[in-house]
Structure 1
Amino acid sequence: MIKTLISIGLWCLAGWLVGTWINANTGWAVLTLGLVAMILVSGVQLSKIEKWVKNIEDPPPASAGPWDDALAVIYRKLRKNREEISELDYAVNSIMLAAEALPDGAITLNEEMQITWCNKMASEHLGLNMETDRNFSIFNILRAPEFAQYGRQPSWPEPLLLHLAKDGREKSLLVQLTPYGVKQFLIVTRDVTQVEKLETTRKDFVANVSHELRTPLTVLSGFLETLHDMPGDSLSAEQRESYHTLMMEQAHRMQAIVADLLTLSTLESSPSINGKPVRVAAVIRNALLQAKVLSSDQHVFVQNIDNKLCVLGIESELTSAISNLLSNAVSYTPKDGTITVSWYITETGTACYSVQDTGIGIASQDIPRLTERFYRVDRGRSRATGGTGLGLAITKHVAMRHHAELHIRSRFGAGSIFSVEFPASRVIVQAEDEGQKAAE
């Protein structure tokens, strides 16, 4: 504004000087021309400002005359506002990304309990679709009577455990509803399916261990009480020897269970390592010698063993897994049955150890549960064979620690094939002479 007044004052001075020097009419003409020129220049400047206003993100025009100072202040303010908005957008986006990355589900509701937003995990937990479920009541989407009762409470001090079925699978969700902001609500969901399974497994494990140890303890206790209460000369030497033998059998059974439990605990708690090359052929042959002793020459053993194949691993663990599969085959194969032991490399470069028998076989519904601790298809027969019910669980853990897979194929009454397949990354093929030395 000051620049404009100064310009007008200068033109007035110029007109007065010209009017004094030439004549008054000429002076007025100069003043008029100056004012017209100022109006035209202002028009051009205003036109530039009008164009800039239509695209206010660009810097203001370079020369806007008396408007320069005002436009500079406006542009600085606009730029500062844009920076603040950008920072706010970045913060909001970071918060939204963090909410999407949460391992728990998050759902926001308005005062009418209608869904306004949810993250990806909540969509997986409850099957929500924001394109179709937005602004719908949560009670119309999550149709569980216990949730309806929970959600309509005046307050929610404790979470709710929901058991839902989706795609034929049971899912357990911990749901917590809490108010926030002004008449808004937040639902947090957590998948506790695996936690519940682990808790159930723990309870079953404790119950199974108690059950497995109860029988030998009862037998031992009964015999000891009998021996304690009876006079020393009331039992013959043969009876006393028979009692001692039975007690020793039960004590050995408890020792076997405890030993297998300790083995499982060690496998689960110790870190996995690559180990060193193990001559599996030699381990198999040692296990075969023990299996033949257990068999008492009642079975036919067939060997198909590649002496050159080794795997990276821990020999003691591999010995346990190899022996478990062989002893199971001996225990569950009738007299004169055939047990085929194979150790070979597959077409894909993996190494496979398999034990095939012509035993009693396993029903298809029992196969998925065979590696559970203490699971037995026939409890009476399993105890008669002296098994602890932990052999296949140990074998499975050994396989997992060596990045291998345990496969079970069987048909009831037609025998079984148990195989452990090691990945190609762990397979080592020795030279022929080294393989022969390993066989010796």
Structure 2
Amino acid sequence: MIKTIISIGLWAALGWLCGAWLGPHTGWGVFSLGLVVMILVSGVQLSRIGRWVSDIDAPPPPSVGPWDEILAPIYRKLRKDKQDLALLNRHVDGIMLAAEALPDGAITLDEAMHLTWCNQTASDHIGLDLKADRGHSIFNILRAPEFARYARQTSWPGPILLHMDKPGQEKTLLVQLTRYGVGQFLIVTRDVTQVEKLETTRKDFVANVSHELRTPLTVLSGFLETLRDMPEESLSAEQRLRYQTLMLEQAQRMQAIVADLLTLSTLESSPHAEGEPVRMSTLIHTALQQGRILSNDQHVFVENIAEDLYITGIETELASAVSNLLTNAIRYTPKDGTITVSWYISEGGHACYSVQDTGIGIASQDLPRLTERFYRVDRGRSRATGGTGLGLAITKHVAMRHNAELTIHSRFGAGSLFSLIFPPARVSTPDQ
């Protein structure tokens, strides 16, 4: 504004000088010409400003007269706002990336409980398709009566547990609904399938241990009460010896269960075993000697054992696994059955210890659960032969610690084949 006033003043002074020298008409003409020039220059400047307005992100045009003082602060403000907006966008992008990386599912809903956004985890949990499901009611997407009852409450003090049954896949989700913002809702989902399985396993384990120890404890307490309450002369030496033998057997059974539980605990405490080269043929021959005693010459043993084949590992653990597989075959093979024990190296460099029997076999529905603690196909037979129900669980953990694989093939009524397959990295020979 000041520049404009100064320019008008200069043209007025120039017009006055010309008027004083050449006459008033000339002075007024010069002054009018000056005003016209100022108007034309102002028009050009306004035209340049108009072109800038169409591309406001570009710097403003230079030398636009009195408009410089107006455009400069506007441009500085626009540039600062642009920088602030870019920073906010980076923050929003970071928040969205963090939301996508969450191990829990996150779903946002509007006031009518229509889906507005969800992360990938929530899509995996519930089977959402954000493009197709956006704007649809959550009650039409998540069709679970218990969720509908839960979501229609006025408040949600705690989460709800939902069991999602899909073809070939079952999930247990912990779902929490809460309000945020104005008229908006947030659903957080957490996959607790493994937690629920572990809790079920823990409960089963406690129940199984209690059940396994209850029988020998009942027998022990019964015999002790009998011996305490009956007069000493009422029992013959033969009866007393029989009672003591039975009590000893039950005590040894409890001791075997506790020993196997301690072994399992030790195996689970560390995932891998290093150890030293172990000559497996020695362990297998020792297990066969013990197996023949257990068999009492009632079975036929066939041996196919490579003598100079070593496994890097823990000798006591490997001996336990070798013995467990052989003992199981003896216990579940009828009299005159054949048990084939093999120890060899495959063409791929894997070492394999296998025990094949012609026993009673295992039904297909029981195969996946054989390595569970205390799981028995025939509880009565296992107890009668002195089994604790932990042998295969121990063998499985020994295999895992030695990077090996325990495979089980069986057909009901036609025998079974149990194999421990060790990776080439743990196999060695005397030359190596």
Give your verdict on TM over 0.5: yes
Q: Name the residue aligned to 2:286.
A: 286
Q: Give the structure 2 partner of residue 300 of structure 1.
A: 300
Give the secondary-structure state (helix, strand or coil) at the position aligned to 2:234. Answer: coil
Name whichever of 28-37 and 260-269 sits farther off: 28-37
Is 1:154 the counterpart of 2:154? The answer is yes
Distance 2:315 2:69 in 1: 85
Tell me the CA shift for residue 392 of structure 1.
Answer: 0.6
User: In the alignment, what sits opposite 1:326?
Assistant: 326
The aligned runs of 1:11-410 (5 Å cut-off) are: 11-21=11-21, 27-28=27-28, 30-410=30-410
Contact 1:309 1:427 in 2 (8 A): no
Residue 427 of structure 1 corresponds to which residue in structure 2? 426
**Aligned-partner Cα distance in 1 for 2:188–2:285:** 57
- Separation (CA, whole Å) in 1 of partners of 2:35 and 2:403: 92
8 Å CA contact 2:271, 2:400 repeated in 1: no
What root-mean-square deviation, in Å, do the aligned CA atoms of Structure 1 and Structure 2 show? 2.4
> Could you tell me which amino acid in structure 2 is paired with residue 383 of structure 1?
R
Q: State the 1:58 CA deviation.
A: 1.9
CA distance in 1, matches of 2:62, 2:313: 76
Deviates more, 1:337-346 or 1:114-123: 337-346
SS of 1:175's partner is strand
Shift of residue 19 of structure 1?
Answer: 4.5
SS of residue matched to 1:242: helix
Following the alignment from structure 1 to structure 2, what is the Cα–Cα distance between the partners of residues 355 and 22? Answer: 130
Judge conservation of contact 2:272–2:403 (CA < 8 Å) in 1: no
Contact 2:272 2:400 in 1 (8 A): no
Contact 2:302 2:339 in 1 (8 A): yes
3-state SS of 2:233 partner: coil
Moved more, 36-45 or 229-238: 36-45
Pairwise CA distance, 1:238: 2.4
CA contact (8 A) 1:373 1:393 kept: yes
CA offset digits 1:73-120 (Å, max 9, x no partner): 111111111111112212222222222222222222222222222222
Moved more, 59-68 or 89-98: 59-68
Separation in 2, partners of 1:139, 1:11? 78
> Which sits farther off after the overlay, 405-414 or 25-34?
25-34
Matches of 2:280 and 2:62 in 1, distance apart?
84
TM norm structure 1? 0.90
Shift of 1:391: 0.6
Partner amino acid, structure 2, of 1:221: S
* Equivalent AA in structure 1 for residue 402 of structure 2: H
Aligned residues: 432
Q: Distance in 2 between matches of 1:57 and 1:315?
A: 76
The offset of 1:352, in angstroms, is 2.5
One-letter amino acid matched to 1:398: V
Tell me the equivalent position of 1:437. none
Deviations 1:30-50 (A, max 9, x none): 545544444443333333322
Write the distance in 2 (CA, Å) between the matches of 1:30 and 1:307: 122
> How far apart are the structure 2 equivalents of 1:97 and 1:321?
48
| Cα distance change, pair 311–73 in 1 and its aligned pair in 2 (3 A) | farther
Q: Aligned partners of 2:160, 2:34: CA distance in 1, in Å?
A: 84
Query: For residues 272 and 253 of structure 2, what CA distance do their matches in structure 1 show?
Result: 29
Q: Post-superposition shift, 1:296?
A: 3.0
C-alpha contact 1:14 1:27 (8 A) present in aligned 2: yes
CA distance in 1, matches of 2:365, 2:224: 41
The percentage of counterpart residues that share the same residue type is: 72
Supply the distance in 2 between the matched residues of 1:210 and 1:161 (Cα, whole angstroms). 29
Within 1, Cα distance between the matches of 2:265 and 2:324? 17
Q: Secondary structure at the match of 1:56?
A: coil
Change (3 A) 1:30 1:211: same
Q: 2:10 corresponds to which residue?
A: 10
Structure 2: runs of 5+ lacking an equivalent: none
| 1:292/1:31 CA distance change after superposition, 3 Å | farther
